[in-house]
Chain A
Amino acid sequence: MWRSDLPLGKDGSSRFLPWIVGAMVYLAALALAGVLAAGELVSGWRAELTGALTIELPQPVEATEADRQARLQRVLDVLTATPGVAHAEVLGPDAMAELIGPWLGPDATAADLPLPDLVAVELAGDATIDSAALTQRLTEAVPEARLDDHRDWLERAERLSWLVRMLAMLVLGFVSAAAALAVLFVTRTGLDIHREVIELVHLLGAPDRYIARQFQHHALAQGFVGGLLGLAAGAATITAIGWLAAVLGGGLVPLARLGWTDWAIIASLPVAAALVAMLTARIAVLRILGRSL
C-alpha cells in the first residue's frame, strides 16, 4: 500500500482534478471512437468492394423490355467470357428497391423510375481484372455500358477517413495538452499550499525526487479515477450514439460497429490519462523545486 507523507488529498484544488481529467477522457473517448469507427467503416467498404464490380446500363429512351433484356444478355455474355469473373448477376426489382429504399421510402419501386440496369460482378479469389480492356469489350457489346470498379469512390472515402483521423488526432492532442495543463496547475497550487510541509520534509533530508514521487503518485491515482469516470460516460455516449444512429438512420448512414480491439483501445484511455498526469506532476515538481533554494 502506498503511503503519503504530504497531505495532498486534503487541498481543494486536487479535488477537482479527477473531474477535469474525466472530462478530458470523455472527449478523448468520443474522438477516438470517431477515428476507429471511420477506420472500421472504410475497412468494411474496402472488404466488401474488393473483388466486386458494377456494370451500369442507363435506360435508353423508348427502349422495349426485349431490347433491355437483349442488352443485358450481351453484357452477361462478355462477363462470362472474361477470365476471373466468378459470378455476374442482374439486380432484380427487390434488390433495386432495397437500394433506393433509404432515400425514397419502402413503397418506392424501381419500375416507376428511370433507373439504370445494374449488373453486380464478383471476381474469383485473388483474380484481378484489366478494367480498361473489360470496359472496351463491354462498350463494343453495349456502347452505353459503364464499368465501375469503385476505385474512385474508395479513394475518396479513404481521403475522408484520413481527414477524420487527423481531426480526431488534433482533438486528442488538444485534450492531452489541456489535461497536462490542468495537472500542472494543480501541482503548482499543491506545491504552494504545502510549501511549509515540503520545506520541513526537505530539511529532514528528503531529496526533490521524494517530493516528486508523492505528487506523481497522487496525480496517478487522481488521473486514473478521473479517467474511469470519463470512460464510463464516454462508453455510455458512444453506445447511445450507435443506438440512435441505428434507429434514426434507417440504413441511410452505413453503421460502423466498434470491435473488441477498438473498445480495448478506448478502455486504455484512463491508463493513458493517469500516465500523462503522473509524468506532468513529476516533471513540474522537479522543475519548480529545482528553481528554489
Chain B
Amino acid sequence: MVLLEQVAVRYSDGPDILRDISFALAPGTLHFLVGPSGAGKSTLLRLLYLALKPSEGRLSLFGRNVAGLERRDLPPLRRRIGVVFQEFRLLDHLTAFDNVALPLRLAGVREAEIKKHVGELLDWVGLGDRLDSLPATLSGGQQQRVAIARAVIARPQLLLADEPTGNVDDRIALRLMYLFEELYKLGTTVLIATHNENLVARFPHHQLHLEGGRLALRPRLSAAAR
C-alpha cells in the first residue's frame, strides 16, 4: 500500500526536512505518527497525499513509484486517498453538505447517491442539522468533523489525518477514533498524526515516531506491504 525507502525531502537548497525515512504501511492497518512540533510530520503527510515528491529515495503508493508518475496520473491516485488537514481546509463558499460531497462529485457519483450518503455521514458525526451551514458559521470542532466526513466519504484506501482530534472534546474524539478503527477494519490503511498521548495510549496501534526529520522508531516492513 505505502512503501518508503530512504526518502529525503528538502526545499530548494535548504536543509533536509525529512531524511532516511523507510517504512511500509500494509493494507488495513492503523498507525499513529507521533513526534514533537517541527519533526516533519506534516511534510511526511504531504508526501503521502502527493503534494510533494521526494528529493531522494523511493516512495511507492498503491504499488506505483511516485517518481515515475505523470501529472495526469495523479488525480486517480489522489481519489484513493482521504486527507484530514490540520487546518481543515474547507471551502468557505460551499455548505457543509457540498464540502463533504466534493470527493464524490469528483468521482462522478450520481447526485441521488451523494444526497443519501452525505446526509447519513453528516448525521453520524452529529451535524445532521447543519447541512446547509457555511464553514464560517460552524465552530472549530464542527468544521473538523466536516473535514473528517469529507476525507472518509469516498471510502478511501488510504486515510491520512493531521491532528484530527485537535479541536474536539473527548467524547467526539473517541467517536472519531472509533470511525477510524471501523475504516481500518474494513481495509482502509489509516495514518494519524497526533500529539494526543491519551489517544495513542488508549488505542494500541503501531507508532511511527518522527524526530528531527528522522524516524526514531522504525517498524518492521511488513511482508504484505513489500
The distance in angstroms between the C-alpha atoms of A5 and B97, with both chains bound, is 12
The distance in angstroms between the C-alpha atoms of A197 and B92, with both chains bound, is 9
A-side binding surface: helix, strand, loop or mixed?
A: helix
Q: Does B76 contact A (CB under 8 A)?
A: yes
Cβ-neighbour of A201 out of B50, B72, B102 (below 8 A): B102
Q: Does A206 contact B (CB under 8 A)?
A: yes
Q: Is the CB of A5 within 8 A of B94?
A: yes
Q: Is the CB of B71 within 8 A of A204?
A: no
Q: Does B78 contact A (CB under 8 A)?
A: yes
Q: Is the CB of B75 within 8 A of A207?
A: yes
Instruction: Say yes or no: A203-B93 contact (C-beta < 8 A), given A208-B71, A290-B71.
Output: no
Chain A window 170-208, contacts with chain B (Cβ cutoff 8 Å), 1 for yes, 0 for no = 000000000000000000000000001101111111111
Q: Is the CB of B78 within 8 A of A205?
A: yes
Give B73 Cβ to nearest chain A Cβ, in Å.
10
Give B109 Cβ to nearest chain A Cβ, in Å.
12
Q: Is the CB of B91 within 8 A of A205?
A: no
Q: Which residues of A contact B150 (CB under 8 A)?
A: 204
Q: Is the CB of B78 within 8 A of A203?
A: yes
The distance in angstroms between the C-alpha atoms of A202 and B77, with both chains bound, is 11
Q: Does B217 contact A (CB under 8 A)?
A: no
Say which size band chain A's interface belongs to: 10 to 19
Q: Does B106 contact A (CB under 8 A)?
A: yes
Q: Is the CB of B93 within 8 A of A205?
A: no
Q: Is the CB of A204 within 8 A of B93?
A: no
Instruction: Say yes or no: A204-B102 contact (C-beta < 8 A), given A10-B93, A290-B71.
Output: yes
Contacting A at CB under 8 A, from B120-150, are 150
Give A9 Cβ to nearest chain B Cβ, in Å.
9
Q: Does B8 contact A (CB under 8 A)?
A: no
Give A284 Cβ to nearest chain B Cβ, in Å.
17
Contacting B at CB under 8 A, from A252-293, are 290, 293
Q: Which residues of B contact A207 (CB under 8 A)?
A: 72, 75
Q: Is the CB of A204 within 8 A of B51?
A: no
Q: Does B107 contact A (CB under 8 A)?
A: yes
Instruction: Say yes or no: A205-B107 contact (C-beta < 8 A), given A5-B91, A200-B89, A200-B91.
Output: yes
Q: Is the CB of B89 within 8 A of A206?
A: no
Most buried by B among A197, A203, A205, A293: A205
